[in-house]
Structure 1
Amino acid sequence: MIGVLALIAVLALLLLAIGIVTAGTAFRYLRAPVPTRLPRDLPVPAQPPRPLNDVATWFGPDDYPAQAIRRNEEGRVRVALLINADGRPSACEVMESSHHRLLDRATCRAAVRHARYAPARDRSGAAIPARVDLSAVRWRLPSE
């Protein structure tokens, strides 16, 4: 009887661990920003945000949606980011669509996940939120 109870306890712990891992992955996916409309009334910064890492590294093969690859979708996407006063992007707006929803969303997710900026500054030197327009991202199917 004790052996059966121990087996049930081990299985329950295993299911709990699987649930925690799955929930964490789902939470990261769900909280990833989807394209939205950025505010148009932001103050003009005296010093604009400056990227702290190489923009070319923000969009890689791991960011290409698997479903878009299966559908042979390619395209060019241009986005704008809302950079918070801490230098992290918090929102993304598609300015020029690839006409493939998966690629548009992947561009926003990758940019928000990888981009880091020195924040914009007002005339007094205080960090302020600002908008950044990125160059177009060209999604090309990976070569085999």
Structure 2
Amino acid sequence: MAYSDQKMSGSKITALVIVALVHLALGYAFVTGLATNFVKKQVEKLNTFDVEEPPPPPPDEPPPPPPDIPMSPPPVVSPPPIVRNPNPPPVVIATTPNPPPVYIPTPVVAPPAPPAPAPAPAPAPPAVSKAAGLKGNPGQYFGADNYPPSAIRAEEEGRVVAKLTVGTDGRVTDCVVTTSSNSSALDQATCRIAKSRVRFSPAIDAAGNPTASSYTLPVRWVLPRD
């Protein structure tokens, strides 16, 4: 008895499990099919539904213009009345008194300075009744013995004319070269020798006294030849 009851209980459990699995399979198929049909219908609805864009909002209306205000003309201001004085004061014309005379002093002009006195003319040389004369032969002093060595080395020669001043003792007190030989050595030698070695007999004035005079002395320098 117990064994049969136990066998029946196992069969019931197996049957219940099979029934439960069948119900689960049917439920799953049912649910799956319904869900698929629902999704297809929703997709079809979405494909056929047109979305319309909302219309744009109406533009803002401009504010109404302000009401016209009538322009009133400005009030007319009448000018004040002109009050005339029946007795106007006399017109006084100012007069300027004559200005005092202006004293302009007369400029003092200094008298012109007296002209400078003319230099006193040099005293005229005393009249010479007899000119100074050479003593001896002066050519001997301007020969080869007195030829300047520097002029010999430079091979310089030429003619010198000297104006001599002869004193009352017949000696030469001054010498000025009036014609140069283009050699300073020859020009200087001419005046040096004339002052130291050339002698004159002095000039004689009208009273017979010796007096200073001038004398022109030409000298030609020629290079000494061996």
- TM-score, structure 2 normalization: 0.43
**Identity over aligned pairs, percent:** 39
Q: 1:65-122: CA deviations, max 9, x gaps?
A: 1011111111110111110000011111111100111100111111222211110111
CA deviation string 1:32-57 (max 9, x = no partner)? xxxxxxxxx64442110011211222
The 5 A counterparts of 1:39-50 are 42-50=125-133
Amino acid at match of 2:185: L
Aligned residues: 103
Aligned equivalent of 1:77, options 149, 160, 170: 160
Contact 1:43 1:130 survives alignment (8 Å): no
| Matched ranges for 1:91-130 at <5 A | 91-130=174-213
In 1, are the aligned partners of 2:132 and 2:200 still within 8 Å (CA)? yes
2:9 corresponds in structure 1 to none
Q: Please, which runs of 5 or more residues in structure 2 have no aligned partner?
A: 1-123
Structure richer in helix, relative to its length? 1
Q: Which amino acid aligns with 1:76?
A: R
Secondary structure, in 3 states, of the residue corresponding to 2:215?
strand
From the CA coordinates, give the structure whose radius of gyration is larger: 2
1:60 is matched with: 143
Q: Which consecutive aligned stretches of 4+ in structure 1 deviate over 4 angstroms post-superposition? A: none
Contact map agreement 2:143 2:221 (CA 8 A) in 1: no
Q: Which residue of the partner structure matches residue 138 of structure 1?
A: 220
AA paired with 2:222? R
More strand by share: 1
Native 8 Å contact 1:59 1:111 kept in 2:
no
- TM-score after normalising by structure 1: 0.66
Structure 1 stretches lacking a partner, 5+ long: 1-40
